[in-house]
Amino acid sequence: MLHFIICEDEIELLNEYIKQIDKFMMEYDIEYKCHTYTCYDKIWEKEIKSIKGFKIYLLDIKTPSGSGINAARQIREEFDDWVSMIIMISAYSEYKYEALSKRLMLVDFINKNTRFEKKLQDALLISMKHYDNKYKSIKYSYKNNIYNIEFRSIIKIEKESDSKRCIIYTEDGNYPIQGTVDEILSLLDNRFFKCNRAVIINVEQVKRYNNSKNIAILKNGEEFKDISRNKKKEMAKRVRGIS
């Protein structure tokens, strides 16, 4: 679930932001929800802390109760949320330097007194690229079950012996999938590496790679030794993030 969290005290503008989000999301087959607020109060604080999933914030600089800059600081520093996207929208352009200088990792600062629609669509596109990188998933059906497994949770994918299926190993369980290693690799992105004929590994799950011993230490503590000798250089590059 993708969550858009909007705080804007002008109801007409708040509804326009929702309209722009709906227009933008027509291009995506992703479930989403808009959460709307008119000020930064205790209800706002309690509710955004309880929302799970990827969040895209549209924050007004000034409301009757609180500042968007302070809200952004709270999201980053108090809630320790450095993943969610924050778009600042304000009629007060003089706050732009202050907002951007706070090192709050803002996507953009948009002046709502101008024709902001194009800039908002561009900012949403940037945010969606981050969503794709963090929350992409593989969706498939197998024996009357429908699976939706996030890439980031996958540790490795291994061909099952004497079978036409593979097993997806994740942080919270293992799942069967029909197809060859190459067929499944074609459904994934570049964080996945075919390290031998029968195994795909998620390089983001590798904590350390010992090049001389050809052993990858995974984040779950497992020692992964099944890396083909002719894949050693590529494995080292992948772990270093240069390939």
Contact (CB, 8 A) for 188 and 196: no
Other Cβ atoms closer than 10 A to 75: 23
Q: Tell me the DSSP string of 89-127.
A: EES-GGGHHHHHHT----SEEEETTS--HHHHHHHHHHH
pLDDT in tens, 12-57: 999 999 999 999 999 887 889 999 999 998 999 999 988 888 899 9
Does residue 202 contact residue 235 with C-beta atoms inside 8 Å? Answer: no
The interaxial angle of helices 11-25 and 117-135, nearest 10 deg, is: 50
Which string of b and e fits 192-228 if b means at least 16 CB within 10 Å? bbbbbeebbbbbebbeebeeeebebebeeeeebeebe
Kind and range of the H or E run holding 208? strand 206-210
List all residues 6 or more positions away from 154 whose beta carbon is below 8 Å from its beta carbon: 138, 168, 169, 170, 192, 202, 205
Structure tokens at 22: 């709906």
Mean pLDDT computed over 150-178: 92
Tokens 């011993």 -> residue: 213
196 in Cβ contact with 231 (< 8 Å):
yes
Region of 11 (left: φ > 0; alpha: ψ -120 to 50; beta: rest) is: alpha
pLDDT of residue 199: 94
pLDDT mean over 82-107? 79
pLDDT: which is higher, 95 or 11: 11
- Compute the distance between CA of residue 43 and CA of residue 224 in angstroms, rounded to an integer: 47
Q: No. of H helices and E strands in the chain?
A: 7, 15
Average pLDDT over residues 148-173: 91
CA distances in angstroms from 147 to 81, 154, 219, listed in the order given: 28, 13, 24
Q: What pLDDT shows up at residue 95?
A: 64
Q: With a cut of 60, say whether residue 243 has pLDDT above it.
A: no
Long-range contacts of 179-182 (CB under 8 A, 24+ apart): 181/157
Phi (first) and psi of residue 205, to 5 degrees: -90, 0
Distance CA 219, CA 15 (A): 44
Q: Which CATH class is domain 2-135?
A: alpha beta
**What is the pTM for the complete model shown?**
0.61
Q: Residue ranges per domain, the chain?
A: 2-135, 149-240
Q: Cα separation of 12 and 183, whole Å?
A: 49
Is 2.60.40.1660 the CATH number for 149-240?
A: no
